[in-house]
Amino acid sequence: MTNRFSDACRLDETEPGAFSWDVPAGWLQGRGAWGGLVIAASVNAVEVTQQQSADRRVRSVTAHMFGPLPAGMARIDVTPLRVGSAMTTWKASVTGSDGAAAAHSVIITGTPRAGDIDEPWGTASMPDLPDWRAVPSVPVGPPMGPEFGLHIGYRPVSGIPGSGDTPRALGWVSPIPDPADNVEQWTAGITLGLVDAWWPASYVAMTGVRPMATVSFSAHLLVPPQTLDPQQPLGFESWVSSMEEGFTSETRRLWSPDGRLVVENHQSIVVIK
């Protein structure tokens, strides 16, 4: 069993645009692979497929999860839907070892635009977080947490599951338990997948943990991953905008320690029962 995120989503290209993926045991969430791992592997497949257009950086991912992806050999097929002068739209389809479709993603890659705009700008601001070194690392894994949580570094600041508080969460997160001692380089796949690592903010408002699943996932990668320090985690925040008939709308963000918005993510997460 691999302990590193990058190893867990490593692919073998069997032919152009087709990949085999040995989905590792120990990275599951319930009956199937953790959704963030599926996102990361799909992004990796697109990046390998478009190597001849390496200047087109991954910009966004929209994914739908149909069902659990079991451990074992899976297949990812990548197809270009449109290749424009500066942007490419890709489809990545994931099929499990049982032959069932598990997920598909639409992934946008594109070259930098608006070179006349010198500085990034926006209205979002990083939440007030203590220095990550001052926040204790908390292990997350069975029996109360998912298997994959054992490979993720969690430093929660607020938003404890089962507390009955406002459905918000805040903390620091990294692809390995201790980024200072075991460096894992930031990539587009790891960064986009990691935003899915935290528990649903709905758990904070609940007085007991109930099974939930992501049914749709949309994320925007706003910072080149290679500009992030691999020895530091990312700030995490999430909140639930609304819940109706068991379906929730949740927003998640990842922040660099120097205050840049790295990923913005919107998910539809459903209470299974």
Q: Tokens 């990361």 appear where? A: 40
Span 64-117, pLDDT tens digits: 988 899 999 999 999 999 999 999 999 999 999 889 999 999 999 999 886 667
**How far apart (Å, rounded) are the C-alpha atoms in residues 42 and 45?**
5
Q: Which of 195, 196, 262 is nearest to 229 (CA)?
A: 262
Mean pLDDT of the chain: 92
CB neighbours of 130 closer than 8 A, spacing ≥ 6? 157
* Residue 208's pLDDT band (cuts 50, 70, 90): confident
Helix (H) or strand (E) holding 173: strand 168-174
Residue 120 pLDDT: 76
Residue 118 pLDDT: 66
Other Cβ atoms closer than 10 A to 178:
12
> For 5-112+128-271, which CATH class?
mainly beta
* C-alpha angle 148-269-256 in degrees, rounded to nearest 5: 60
Burial of 181 (0-12, 13-18, 19+ CB in 10 A): exposed
